[in-house]
Every structure is written in structure tokens, then in C-alpha cells.
Amino acid sequence: MPDWSQIGRLLNFCAAYYTTQLVRCAAFSFMLIGLVMLLRKMFFSRRTFIRGLLWSSFLLIPFLGKLKLFYENKAVVGITGRITHGTMTCLWADRIYMAGILIAAVCIFGKRLRFRKLVAGMEKVSLDKMQVRITDMNVTPFTVGLFAPKIVIPKVMLESYSREELRSVIQHERTHIWLGHLWFGLAWDVLRCLLWVNPFLTVCQKQFRADMEDICDRVCIQGSGRTAHEYGMVLLKTLKLLSSKSEGTPPAVTYAGEKEFADMKRRMGEIAGFRPYRKRMCAGMAAAAVLVIAALLLAVYTHSYARCNESRDILVGNYDGEPQVISYDTEELSQMISYDDRYVYVERQAFEDFLEENNAEGEIWIVFGGFYKLPGLAGIAESCIYESSSKDRIIQIPYESIRNYWYYELLEIL
């Protein structure tokens, strides 16, 4: 029979451990999304590729929860100390946060799964040497799927567009795939689930997708050899053809295009202002962004607590009717006590003088080593009972490590 109490303890720990980190990440996400929106509006409103690259900064957010500054910087501790204490001690709040992640995941990814099933049942036709799906819904063309992307085109476009116009439409969707926009959309949805307490991640999803569309438009115009005017006319034809909105349009359409006039007007304005760009410069910008993100991730890693942090603390206590701590002064105790993987070594005379000075009686316990996940949040320590009957100068006390127990092994790798 499984030890349900141990499993319950592990689940409670996981709730507190991950909630503590994710709440901190959410706090950073509020600041970052404000900064990105400000930079987009004030400094890079006409810099399409830079606007898109700004969103890559959110790749850092999920890794900020274990930064040491939450414990070592007095200003940050003063601001976040109560929140940290709350997430570490209020189990009901941790459970609510975990439930929020689950509900958000069901809502967001449930729509994705239902829509994939819907696309799987659509009619298949061959266009421009590739297979596409045809739908009766009044939606702009879109692509769904990550490992085997499927391009979907409304039937009305298939019947009304020329072969050249259909080729432009398919090229646009292929460009989304080639640029990795479907994966970016997935990463954004994962972030929305994990940091559901930040509603601006959902509110600003429109701007995120708009920037991806603008990048795709620019790449398509330059890569197709057609003028921006010709490309824009295809979009205008799409707007006219699909002007009647469909009530049955699924909400999980990935890059289905703008369905409102204001959005199409914005997109047409971007296309009208198109100027040829230098591919090498854009590739260099993308490479520079990757290097910056990698450098920042390395900096975050080096200034964060590890997944499992070795503890070198030593504590001495006694049990004489009730447990009592004698001392947790590691610096002092380490002069008398040392240990390895099998034994604890105690300098007998110095340690017994220490016990006499502290009037310690009864069963003497030595607690040492082990590991912790975050300061003040979960961990284990080894222990042994002091053998006062020995007369050796250095007392060698064997102990059996509790790290071999499944609960602590699992706790260590979480």
C-alpha cells in the first residue's frame, strides 16, 4: 500500500515550491509587459522586426523564480518578503494557484485539441504541390499543428481566387511555419497558463500576434518578388470575400488573420509603408537577440539557487522529556564535528566540554548536511545520536543516509 501521507506531503511541497517561484515570475512579467508595450509604441512603432524581437525577452520570465536576490537583496526582500512568506506558508493559496494553472491549461489547450480534431476531419486538396485542408467556415487562411502543420483555406477562397493568388496565400502560411511562429504561439500559451494571475498576457496577445503577422507580411512581400500593392490587394480581396462573420468560428484558430476592419486597416498600413530590408542585417539582429537571451539566461542561472542545494549546517539538540535545540552555530560546531558519506566524526573532549557548558542532558542528537530546495522551503538533514560511552579521542559514529529513501530522492530531483 502506498504511503498516502507521504504523497500528500510531497504534493503540498510541490504546490508551495512552484507557486513561490511562479508568483515571483508573474511579478516580473507585469513589469516586462509594460516595458515591451512602451518600447513598441514610443520607439519601435515603425521597426517591425525589432518589435517582434522584443517579445523574445519573455523567454527569461519562467526562470526568474529562484534568483538569489529574493533572499540576499534587502530592497527586494522588503518588497517581496511578505509574498514569499505567504506562498511558503499558506497552503490554501498555493492550491488555488495550482488549480488556476490547471483551469487555464484546460481552457487554452482544450480548445487547441478540439480544433485539431475539427481540422483532421476537413476535406484535403492539393495546391501548389502541397496538401491543404478546406473548410466551409468564413475565416481567413490559417495553420494549425506543430510537428505536422496543416494549412486550412476556406472553400469560398478556393472557388474565387486565381492560382497565383492562392499561391500567395499558401506562401504566407508557409512563412509562418518557417519562421517558427506556431512554436512562439505555443510558448505564449504556456506562459499564459503558468502566469495566469497576470491578465495582461492575455490582453496583449493581440499585439503579440499582430507583430508576428507584420513580420510574416514583410518576409512574404520581399520573398515573392511581387510589389506591396499587389500583396495588399490580395488581402483586400480576402476582407471583401469574408466580410460576413461566422458564428461558428472556433476561438482557438492559430494565426487565422484579423477579422475586424480596424485590424486589417492597421495591417494594410504596414504593407503600404513597406520598404525592402537587408536580409543579412535582419539575420544579424536575430542572431544578436539569441546571444543576448542566452547570455541573460546564463546570468540568471549563475545568480539563482540550484535545483538542489547542499547544506553544510550543523545543529546539536537533546531530548530529555522534550526536544530542545542546544546550538545551531555551524561555525563553532564544525570545529568539533565533521562528517562524510558514512560516518560522523566528533572530537570527544571538546564536544563534551561544550555539552557541559550548555547543561545538556539526556539523548544528544547531531543534525547535519542534507540539502534544501530554497532557503526556508523544504529540505532534509542527516542525523545521528552521540555515543557518550566511547573513550576515543575522535568518536566515529556510523549513520544511514535518508537520501536513499524514495521520498527524498524524488524531492531532490523536482
Can you give the pLDDT at residue 4? Answer: 66
Last residue of a domain, one of 302, 326, 349: 302
Mark the ranges of the chain whose per-residue pLDDT is less than 70. Answer: 1-4, 241-262, 264, 378
Q: Answer yes or no: do 239 and 316 share one domain.
A: no
Can you give the pLDDT at residue 98? Answer: 94
Can you give the pLDDT at residue 262? Answer: 64
Q: Answer yes or no: do 296 and 319 share one domain.
A: no
Total of domains in the chain: 2
Q: Answer yes or no: do 156 and 212 share one domain.
A: yes
Nearest alpha carbon to residue 308 among 377, 358, 357: 377
Q: Answer yes or no: do 262 and 371 share one domain.
A: no
Between β-strands 150-154 and 142-144, what pairing exists: parallel, antiparallel or unpaired? antiparallel
Distance CA 283, CA 74 (A): 41
Distance CA 210, CA 45 (A): 12
Last residue of a domain, one of 256, 287, 302: 302
Can you give the pLDDT at residue 184? Answer: 93
Q: Answer yes or no: do 84 and 122 share one domain.
A: yes
For residue 156, the enclosing domain spans 4-302
Can you give the pLDDT at residue 407? Answer: 75
Last residue of a domain, one of 243, 270, 302: 302
- Scanning 273-405, the segments in alpha helix (DSSP H) are 279-302, 330-333, 348-357
Residues 279-307: pLDDT tens digits? 888 888 889 999 999 999 999 999 999 88
Nearest alpha carbon to residue 371 among 323, 325, 327, 306: 306
Can you give the pLDDT at residue 242? Answer: 63
Q: Answer yes or no: do 322 and 199 share one domain.
A: no
Can you give the pLDDT at residue 3? Answer: 61
Q: Are 326 and 280 in contact (CB under 8 A)?
A: no
Can you give the pLDDT at residue 249? Answer: 45
Q: What is the pTM of this model?
A: 0.84
Q: Are 26 and 197 in contact (CB under 8 A)?
A: yes
Q: Are 354 and 336 in contact (CB under 8 A)?
A: yes
Q: Answer yes or no: do 241 and 358 share one domain.
A: no
Which CA distances in Å does 274 have to 181, 217, 229, 278?
Answer: 21, 9, 9, 13
Can you give the pLDDT at residue 302? Answer: 94
Can you give the pLDDT at residue 399? Answer: 87
